[in-house]
Amino acid sequence: MKFSYNWLKELTSIKKSPDETAELLNMRAFEVERVEKVGNDFTLDAKVPVNRISDAGNHQGLAKEIAALLGLKVKKHSMGAFVSTPQAQTLKIKIASPELCPRYTAVILNLKKNDVSPPWMQKRLATCGFRPINAIVDATNYVMLETGQPLHAFDLDKIEGGRMNIRESKEGETLTTLDGTTHILPQGTIVIEDAERLIDLAGIMGGQNSAVSDGTKRILLQAAAFDPVRIYRATRALNFSSDAAKIYAAGTDPNKTMGALRRATDILLQMDVVDVPQGWIDLYPKKTAQTKIAFRPAYADKVIGEPLGHQFHQKAFERFGFKKRAGGKDKWLIEVPTERRDLHQEEDLIEESARMYGYERLASKLPESHLIPAPKNDAVWWEHQIADHLAGAGFTETQLYEFTGDHELDQFGIDRARVIALENPMNPETRYLVPRAAIKSVSSAADNLRHFDAVKLFGISKSFRKDPLEERKDLVICLAAKGTSGEEEFYLLKGAVEQMLESMGISDQWYDDAIDETRATYHDTRIFHPYRRAEIKMGDEKIGVIGEIHPDILKKIKSKGRIAAAEIDMEKLARLATSEAEYRPIGKYPAMIRDIAVVVPRDTRTQEVENIISAAGGELLADTDLFDYFQDENLQESEEKSLAFHLVFQSAERTLMDAEADAVMQRIVSALEEKNWEVKK
């Protein structure tokens, strides 16, 4: 909201400069975002919070606020001495329910002319960001800016049948507002209708059919109070608002309508555009009473954390114009003006005292309380451990958007059945919530391959699915490289996963590539190369997936290289992880190492070879360690590969003799040769 500094100065005897005034409001009331020089005036652009619009969202109110904070007085306008009698009912006004419109105040004015407003008024309107239009519109805007009470002028002769009915709209009713927009109304919007049609979107904007125009002879100038909730809902439902609607949605003070109307009439008379009116229309069935709030000075001091004392609070309330009505020494009853719609309870009054004192003057403390050890959050702790481990292993952490669109889902061939859509996307890229974390990381890896030859990424991120509703947290690790066959990336990734799991005390995971394609979770591995993918399991439980991204997907996302990715359920990981470790005695007797190489068909699994070796090796074989996995041209031709292992022999009871190791070796060789595999020692 924009305020004119000169106007504020006229309403109170403020001595501070525009910048100092802004600073005062910043510290004690609300933010003034900008001070701007406009001619010989200054615009103060204030972010008046919605609970203060009713009282401080206008020049009188803001002047009052400044005056209170500085201990100054506010000047009052003298009103013209009009006959203060109810006007003869030339117009029948009916209010369907008092809650829609707690007060309806209006005056009928004969219009002498409706030309331009005086230059001083135009200047002030411009300072506050309003475009001058004509005398009537400018005067109503001016009074709204001054008092915070929105006003509206109808062409009285366009109100059919001399009747006005203020009621809630029925769904589907239509109304064209004076800006030319036609609205199809939802149920429950406050409207005004005459004998024949809707003529006003109450509190938001007048109807085109009842607007003041060049030929207008008589106007009905309205200053009403409307139900803020209904106005707010209507602006949301219609996606249509106005300066008046913003004020009404925050709530106005019904006790202010008459003053504003009289002030507006006064100004119009001064401008000589209307005749002196005969009297007023005022429907106010139930007067809004002032709120009384209990206040305990000692409690206030406790909440603020500074002994301000009874006197300080009393003085503060006096300056804000609150009245101490009753109550003893330690419990007061404070009456606040009806325009202070933000004050309902003790805490609200405590804030008034606190800001009057000044938060900048408050002495800082730290809470005194019981020493309770902070509970450790294991999930968060493991997230940090994992991130540290992977960063140490050369992976860089990403944080990515959790939105996705049809294009991206199609690239990854994701079925929409479990994808959650947003009601109000901003663009095609924000239509859905991302259904699996890997999508975003893989896209990011592909993007990064434009600038790097090799990419190692990880992230701990959320994804969302429906039926049933699910919010997951996954660890995603991605490895990508340009100009490779992808094989090395896969094994590097697998190694990184293994090492990470080991650091979390997890060692009995296994890799299952016999994926049941009829199972629901099959969908998790569909983004992978069909012959380069596996589920990572602990026992029967799947904890994640690993694989190389399907070449078709790589093509669709225009990746410049192969990408391998692993996606592991963080919740399961944190549950299985353990930081416990226990000492095991170091072997007393020396180990003996023998190497063995075996040539096997290309599609033989390393694990199968290892299983045969360890079965034949018996208890003296302490460890089997693959150190070479190789295929030269000859082997390629014969569709074979060579696997070489270090075999570690060790006994817990004695130093082994060469002959003992030789005997075991012989058994292993025989077992391997039984499979018709060529063994090289």
Nearer to other proteins, 412 or 458 (CB): 458
Taking the least distance from each CB to other proteins, the nearer of 105 and 444 is: 444
CB of 137 to other proteins, least distance (A): 25
| 202 is a contact residue toward other proteins (CB under 8 A) | no
Q: Name residue, tokens 């090799």.
A: 454
Q: What is the DSSP string of 373-385?
A: PPPP-HHHHHHHH
177 backbone φψ class: left, alpha, beta (φ>0; ψ -120 to 50): beta
464 binds other proteins (CB under 8 A): yes
Regarding 424 and contact with other proteins (CB under 8 A), the answer is yes
- Residue (218 or 562) nearer to other proteins, CB: 562
Tell me which stretch binds other proteins (CB under 8 A): 151-159, 174-182, 393-401, 406-414: 393-401
Return the number of the residue (426 or 581) whose C-beta is nearest other proteins.
426
Residue 681: CB atoms within 10 A of its CB come to: 11
CA separation for the pair 100, 228 (Å, rounded): 9
Minimum CB distance to other proteins, residue 610 (Å) = 28
**Dihedral sign of CA atoms 24, 28, 34, 36 in order:** negative
Strand order in the sheet with 32-38: 2-4, 41-46, 32-38
Which listed residue (2, 10, 16, 27) binds other proteins by CB under 8 A? 27
CA distance 397 to 599: 40
Q: How far is the CB of 436 from other proteins (least distance, A)?
A: 15
- 239 lies in the binding site for other proteins (CB under 8 A): no
Asked if 404 and 422 count as a contact pair (C-beta separation under 8 A), the reply is no
Residue where the block lists tokens 């360690």: 625
Question: Does 64 participate in binding other proteins (rule CB under 8 A)?
Answer: no
Number of Cβ within 10 Å of residue 188's Cβ equals 16
Tell me how far CA of residue 482 lies from CA of 450, 479, 561, 567, in angstroms: 9, 11, 4, 22
Output the smallest distance, CB 384 to other proteins, in A.
Answer: 7
* Site for other proteins contains 362 (CB under 8 A): yes
Which region, judged by CB under 8 A, interacts with other proteins, from 121-129, 214-222, 394-402, 581-589? 394-402
Query: Given candidates 11, 201, 350, 497, which one binds other proteins under the rule CB under 8 A?
Result: 350
Q: Which two tokens stand for residue 533?
A: 């993918």
> Can you tell me which of 88, 421, 591, 652 binds other proteins, judged by CB under 8 A?
421
- Cβ closest to other proteins, residue 109 vs residue 231: 231
Work out which of 39, 172, 373, 468 binds other proteins, going by CB under 8 A: 373
Provide φ and ψ at 678, rounded to 5°. -80, 125
- In the complex, the smallest distance separating the C-beta of residue 96 from other proteins, rounded to whole angstroms, is 20
From the CA atom positions of the chain, what is the Rg in Å?
A: 40
Question: If binding is defined by CB under 8 A, does position 390 make contact with other proteins?
Answer: yes
CA distances from 254 to 231, 430, 487, 666 (A): 15, 44, 76, 102
Residue 573: half-sphere exposure toward Cβ, Cα within 13 Å? 28
Residue 560 as a binder of other proteins (CB under 8 A): the answer is no
Nearest-approach distance from CB 570 to other proteins, in angstroms: 11
38 binds other proteins (CB under 8 A): no
Q: Is 602 in the site for other proteins (CB under 8 A)?
A: no
Exactly one of 3, 5, 7, 30 binds other proteins (CB under 8 A); that residue is: 30
Q: Is 594 helix (H, G, I), strand (E, B) or coil?
A: strand
Cβ 456 to other proteins shortest distance, Å: 7
Q: Tell whether residue 415 is a contact of other proteins (CB under 8 A).
A: no
Cβ(125)–Cβ(142) under 8 Å?
Answer: yes
> In which region does residue 569 sit, left (phi positive, over 0), alpha (psi from -120 to 50) or beta (all else)?
beta
Which 259-318 positions form the footprint of other proteins (CB under 8 A)? 302-306
Check binding of 553 to other proteins (CB under 8 A). Answer: no
Token readout for 575 is 């549950």
Can residue 372 be called a binding residue for other proteins (CB under 8 A)?
A: yes
Name which position in 106, 221, 433, 609 contacts other proteins (CB under 8 A). 433
**Nearer residue to other proteins within complex by CB, 17 or 396:** 396
458 binds other proteins (CB under 8 A): yes
Q: For the CB of residue 681, give the shortest distance to other proteins in the complex, in Å.
A: 34
Q: Are 561 and 490 in contact (CB under 8 A)?
A: no
β-bridge mates for residue 479, sequence order: 456, 564
Among 57, 203, 228, 277, the residue binding other proteins under the rule CB under 8 A is 228
Single out the segment in contact with other proteins by CB under 8 A; choices: 9-17, 24-32, 103-111, 508-516: 24-32
Rule CB under 8 A: say whether 190 interacts with other proteins: no
Contact 132, 145 (CB under 8 A): no
Structure tokens at 129: 């960001």
Residue type at position 297:
P
For other proteins, the closer CB: 116 or 304 = 304
Query: Of 107 and 476, which has the nearer Cβ to other proteins?
Result: 476
Between 50 and 679, name the residue whose CB sits nearer to other proteins: 50
Other beta carbons within 10 Å of 602: 11
Q: How far is the CB of 250 from other proteins (least distance, A)?
A: 6
